[in-house]
Amino acid sequence: MNILVTGGCGFIGSNLVRYLRRVRPEWKLVNLDTLTYAGNLENLIDLESDPGHVFVRGDIGDREFVEKLLREHAIDSVMHLAAESHVDRSILGPEVFVQTNVLGTQRLLEASRQQGVKRFLMVSTDEVYGSLGPTGAFTETSPLQPSSPYSASKTSSDLLALAWHHTFGLDVVVTRCSNNYGRYQFPEKLIPLMVVNALHDKPLPVYGDGANVRDWLHVEDHCQALLLALEKGRAGEVYNIGGGAERKNIEIVKAILSLLGKPESLIKFVKDRPGHDRRYAIDPSKIKAELGWTPAHTFEQGLDETVRWYVDNREWWQRVMSGAYRDYFDSQYSTRLQVMG
Ligand code: NAD
Ligand code: DAU
């Protein structure tokens, strides 16, 4: 089997490439990534001389290039992860989100159709469902009510993928997962940002009252679910993936400080994210019943391992943060401090 993984140098993509090399060593993986600030070849340095992993730098939105790639490598299936993924950035600059997530996905879908790809796995998000009240959980039939430019762009790509199935007959499976955590996550997202700040004894910016809830999923459990969806999912179907670990942001921040032996006085409540979704929770019954998926990690064990990984891999995050992202990070960080409540 020849698989195209898009966004394979990002957080989930690099974990997925490593996972697939381990559990499907006979597959050839072609990793198409344009290497934005969030994509780092260093995430896959251990696969540098692995003949089963071919890295290709390129844009999913370059249709001619993608068609050639699909043809030359005789790609059977596409696992589509490439995206702009950070909600805060989508509020500051939405255009690239439409460019990559909407237009890029449409072009990739069309190239896949033209080249006779046998299966297209669309990695979507639970953010397509919008925000929940204090009870209940998202099912695959919950209404789509995205709030941010990021989630609106992901909803568009999710629906485009389903349209390419219904209209053109492309074999598409869509997955919608909750917040991932684990190694190689860029330190702009909640968990790695808080770890890095705490290690520097810098304030930890918690948006609003810190009571927003996310449903945390270990990235390796997610990778296992993606493989099941690719191999066993039914065409045209959507599968929710969630770790069953609902936590308030403030609980996570306190747990990180406790693991690092740092004081809670580092916590700073800052101005809320505009349009901030209050609560996400996933009902994963369908993927469990139909595809036999079971997450292997408990949140407490996974968080402990993740925090340790960031402590032990200081060089990795120092290097990835020293590039183009540094100026953005610094400016955002000082903005947050100015608006502290
Ligand atoms: P990430 O930002 O860490 O990685 C995205 C990758 O896509 C990067 O390597 C980047 O260089 C690449 N990329 C961006 N634009 C590209 C383009 N035009 N052409 C080729 N490559 C491009 O993201 P992530 O957190 O690993 O998320 C991966 C996917 O999973 C995304 O589609 C995201 O929407 C989805 N998702 C993520 C989470 C999460 O918690 N991280 C949860 C639900 C869904
Ligand atoms: O739910 C799935 C989504 O999870 C994915 O689709 C996105 O790609 C991914 O980035 C993630 O989105 P979130 O907005 O939930 O993740 P983030 O880590 O940015 O924020 C998690 C929560 O923490 C959210 O309620 C906002 C809050 N937060 C975040 C940051 C960066 C803070 O309080 N302070 C911060 O500095």
Q: Are strands 119-125 and 2-6 parallel, antiparallel or unpaired?
A: unpaired
Strand bridging mode 119-125 / 77-80: parallel
Q: Are residues 108 and 225 in the same domain?
A: yes
Whether residue 270 lies inside any domain: the answer is yes
**Residue 94 domain-assigned?**
yes
- The verdict on residue 282 lying in a domain is no
CATH number at residue 113: 3.40.50.720
Same domain (yes/no): 190, 175: no
Across the range 278-284, mean pLDDT stands at 98
Within this chain, do residues 156 and 225 fall inside the same structural domain, yes or no?
yes
Residues with CB under 6 A from ligand 1: 6-7, 9-13, 32-36, 38-39, 59-61, 81-83, 85, 100, 104, 123, 125, 154, 177, 179-180, 186
Q: Is 95 a catalytic residue?
A: no
Q: Other C-beta atoms within 10 Å of 57: how many? A: 12
Cα–Cα distance between 150 and 157 in angstroms, integer?
Answer: 11
217-249 per-position pLDDT tens digit: 999 999 999 999 999 999 999 999 999 999 999
Measure 191 CA to ligand 2 centroid, in angstroms: 9
At what angle are helices 314-321 and 299-312 packed, to 10 degrees?
A: 70
Confidence band (pLDDT; 50, 70, 90) for 48? confident
> For position 278, what pLDDT does the model report?
98
- Which CATH number covers residue 303? 3.90.25.10
Residues 131, 198 within the same domain: no
Residue-range definition of the domain harbouring residue 322: 181-214+244-277+297-333
Q: What is the pLDDT of residues 102-153, one digit of tens each?
A: 999 999 999 999 999 999 999 999 999 999 999 999 999 999 999 999 999 9
Number of domains composing the chain:
2
